[in-house]
Structure 1
Amino acid sequence: MKRLNLLLLFATLTFTAYAQDTVKKATKIEKKQVEIACGECMFKMPGKGCDLAVRIDGTPYFVDGRKIDDFGDAHADDGFCNAIRKATVTGEIVDGRFKAKSVQLAETKKKEQPKSK
């Protein structure tokens, strides 16, 4: 009986130690300027619809915590399915996804309308 208990204890400790080693650490992002757009349409990420994504240091990540239509119509001329925009973000990258705490879009320059005579 002691051997069985000892074996179970050893197996539990081994599993626990292994499980802790495989946990991925989160990468914190603090007020970083990134590109933001539709992951599928603009960043060519795999998916079945239009989902918000950010590109941080050249790598795209789907966003959790904000939706693509939170910033207006994604399919408008300047929407995320048709344009890559700039944003300042804070959050963390966990398991290949960006967990957004804040997303602040950069102002876009509006095209001047020609003056009528």
Structure 2
Amino acid sequence: MRLQVELVLEITDDTELTTAALEQIQGDDQLPDAERDRSREAVRRDESEALAYLVDPFDLVNGVPGVDLVQASWNSAHIEYDPDDEEWEFFDDEAEDEDEPVAGDEPGA
């Protein structure tokens, strides 16, 4: 099953975000030193990189009964967002199989 989630976040304190990401990188015992240096530089250069270090999709489903996360990918990027703009939509790609019902869309529901 594929669960697609899209979030729009407002960075209210880029220094706090960057500091938290740098602390997480520093505390990651699995990260080789060369990768740690590259990660620090990326986080200092771009808040979206900092956010990517702090958001973990595994946390979204951790503890959900009957579910094991098999694979996850995510990214973060700066966007122009206007909630009042009717042209702005989530998920710019179409559903892969539009014939499959979505929860709540079953016939008779």
Bigger relative contact order (CA 8 A; separation at least 6): 1
Q: Give me the TM-score of the superposition, normalised by structure 1.
A: 0.26
Which structure carries more helix by proportion?
A: 2
TM-score of the aligned structures, taking structure 2 as reference length: 0.27
Q: Which has the higher strand share?
A: 1
Q: Pick the structure with greater CA Rg.
A: 1
